[in-house]
Amino acid sequence: MGTIQQCIFCKSTTNSFNSVEHIFPESLGNKEKILDKGFVCDTCNNEVLSGLDAELLDFEGIKFMRVMNGIESKSGKVPVANFPNLKIENPNKDHIKVHLQTMKHVRDQSDTGFKLDFRGTRKMDAKRLKLLARSLYKIGYELVCLDHGRDFVLSPRFDEVQDIILGKKDFSGYILMGSNEKSENPRVSYYPLKDEQGREFMAFDFVYLFVRFIFDMERREALPEAGTKLERMTVMKF
């Protein structure tokens, strides 16, 4: 009698399974939402999935908020956010230092403050949005597995999602992105909903610090038009 081992992504039963899987990256402060050994093979964990975690951590909104709030990485370092025109750091977690290359991005200076324009490191094009979507789908899919078990996520309903997360299939979809109230630990909730044909899908709501994403990993068409603003959320379609 051995413990059942089967990867919920590639479905392998024979690969090695030596590590647990953090549903959110540990560097976002996740110590609780973890899949035990035997759910994700080392190959998927160390290759595709760690690349997707890195993508999420490199997303400007998250990188910026980690620095502003002094959130330590798993090795205990407070991150530094590098942007093309400036660098932001928070070395003692109580004092934000901004290093500017030039004053030309500083606006509205007064005795009480100023506004700062900072530019993203990388362009947020469809290619990058898909990487961000896959990193969010990974979180959503693993959370559903944690709540409902391996048999549920290995049903044919999620075959397409597995291929998309692993990068084996091109896809379209949408993410709603916006800001929210502060939530120190990453938090994701989901709601079962029905589409126009009566098929069930789940809407996910991911909140970290002040960054919020709403997504669903099963429907390919965005209901609101791309670019629509809904209560501080913007629809991004790819």
Write out the residues near Zn ion by the rule CB under 5 A: 7, 9-10, 41, 44
Q: How far is the CB of 62 from Zn ion (least distance, A)?
A: 26
Q: How far is the CB of 11 from Zn ion (least distance, A)?
A: 7
Q: How far is the CB of 37 from Zn ion (least distance, A)?
A: 13
Q: For 107-124, b where at least 16 C-beta lie within 10 A, e where not — what string?
A: eeeeeeeeeeebeeeeee
Q: Which is nearer to Zn ion, 45 or 90 (CB)?
A: 45
Of residues 38 and 173, the one with the C-beta less far from Zn ion: 38
160 — phi, psi (to 5°)?
-65, -40
Nearer to Zn ion, 10 or 124 (CB): 10
For residue 35, the minimal CB distance to Zn ion (Å) is 12
Query: Considering beta carbons, is residue 41 or 153 the nearer one to Zn ion?
Result: 41
CB of 41 to Zn ion, least distance (A): 3
Residue closer to Zn ion (CB basis): 165 or 235: 165
Query: Residue 121 CA to chain centroid, in angstroms?
Result: 17
Burial code (b: 16+ CB inside 10 Å, e: under 16) for 181-218 equals eeeeebebebeeeeeeeeeeebbbbbbbbbbbbbbbbb
CB-CB contact of 77 with 46 (8 Å): no
- The answer to whether residues 215 and 176 touch, using CB atoms and an 8 Å cutoff, is yes
Nearer to Zn ion, 10 or 57 (CB): 10
Q: Which residues contact 148 (CB under 8 A, 6 or more apart)?
A: none
Orientation of helix 50-58 relative to helix 60-68, angle to 10°: 70
Q: Which is nearer to Zn ion, 12 or 179 (CB)?
A: 12
Q: Which of 107, 137, 108, 122 is nearest to 206 (CA)?
A: 137
What's the closest the beta carbon of residue 16 comes to Zn ion, in angstroms? 10
Q: How far is the CB of 93 from Zn ion (least distance, A)?
A: 37
Q: At what angle do helices 50-58 and 126-148 cross, to 10 degrees?
A: 120
